[in-house]
Amino acid sequence: MTLSEEQRAAVEDARAAEQPTRRATVPSLEEILFEPLPVLDRGFVRVVDYMGDDAAIVQAARVSYGRGTRNVRDDAGLIGYLMRHRHTSPFEMCEIKLHVKLPMFVARQWIRHRTANVNEYSARYSILDREFYLPAIGDIATQSESNRQGRGDALTEPVAAELRERMRAHAEEAFDLYDSLLDGEDGVARELGRTVLPVSAYTQWYWKIDLHNLLHFLALRADPHAQLEIRAYAEVLIDIVNKWVPITAAAFDAHRLQGASLSRGQVEAIRRRLRGETVAAADVGLSAREWRELATILGEDG
């Protein structure tokens, strides 16, 4: 991550100003406000603004005249109940605004989550800096054979290093061409010049989302099936959520991230086994795949 001096100064200025407010305020989030948290080789996430806290969820669920909370234990009980029963609207009452710098191929996955507000840096309007993503040596891996959309084993260090160097050289050439296309009096329009850039180039945007939709995003993007590069962002976001709404974050961890969804047949298999029966996939109408997924959930897959 590299900020220009001017950018660094703008961040510091923003952090220095403090005003009094009657709004719900979260000191541990104020602590990191505006600060760029590094992700990947040159990306970052900055919390730019937020609305609400754990208490605001309780307050909305109760349609309260005041703060709405009782005590930590009651509030945690209510939040757990709402999470378990998918009463999602109270979680929509909290909102967060982030400034994110990320490779375009990550941005293309990210933007698929539609229930958010976005303002992206425009390469029609401005010239992009020479910044592109290169995977770390240890992250360069073969195509997975079991998972059609994932990575398998890491390549050996020398092979990976050589590939990485070729990727680097190609990206540099792309930016050379980009610069030369835009250069001089006969320079082509920025909107045309940018078409030669690789999807590894970094872009940035302001992204604003409510807590419910953020958690949904995280459930999908912090998942082991998600691409490593977007997962790196999801992990930083989970840290932010922990600082922001710790009670909700804990409930989310227990009920979503570390919970499990079972089908009718999977429930049936468990019921029978608990009654002492021996059960096979076919007895409960499960496919081989669902049977393996159940074994994984039950920690019996190895």
Could you tell me which stretch among 20-28, 231-239, 240-248 binds a second copy (CB under 8 A)? 20-28
Chain-centroid distance, C-alpha 25: 23
Among 40, 45, 102, 140, binds a second copy (CB under 8 A): 140
Query: Catalytic: which of 148, 221, 231, 272?
Result: 221
Is residue 290 involved in binding a second copy (CB under 8 A)? yes
Least Cβ distance, residue 87 to a second copy (angstroms): 9
Site residues (CB under 8 A) for a second copy, limited to 50-89 = 50-52, 56, 59-61, 63-67, 77, 80-81, 84-86, 89
Stretch that binds a second copy, among 160-168, 232-240, 241-249 (CB under 8 A): 160-168
**DSSP secondary structure letter of residue 202:** E
Please report how close the Cβ of residue 49 comes to a second copy at its closest, in angstroms.
Answer: 5
Q: Is 58:69 a contact under the CB 8 Å cutoff? A: yes
On whether the CB atoms of residues 224 and 124 are closer than 8 A, the answer is no
> Per CB under 8 A, does 143 bind a second copy?
yes
Binding flag, residue 138, a second copy (CB under 8 A): no
Q: Is 221 a catalytic residue?
A: yes
The minimum distance between CB 211 and a second copy, in angstroms, equals 10
Candidates 5, 71, 146, 289; binder of a second copy (CB under 8 A) is 289
Spatial strand order in the sheet of 95-103: 37-39, 43-51, 95-103, 202-210, 117-120
Q: What is the DSSP letter of 225?
A: T
Residue 203 and residue 160 in contact, taking contact as beta carbons nearer than 8 Å: no
Write phi, then psi, for 161 (nearest 5 degrees): -65, -40
Indicate which single residue of 1, 2, 14, 72 sits in contact with a second copy (rule: CB under 8 A). 14
Rounded to whole angstroms, the Cα distance separating 80 from 88 reads 11
234 interacts with a second copy by CB under 8 A: no
Least CB distance to a second copy at residue 133 (A):
7
> In angstroms, what CA-CA distances link 98 with 118, 133, 258, 274, 288?
10, 20, 26, 47, 42
* Active site positions, annotated: 221
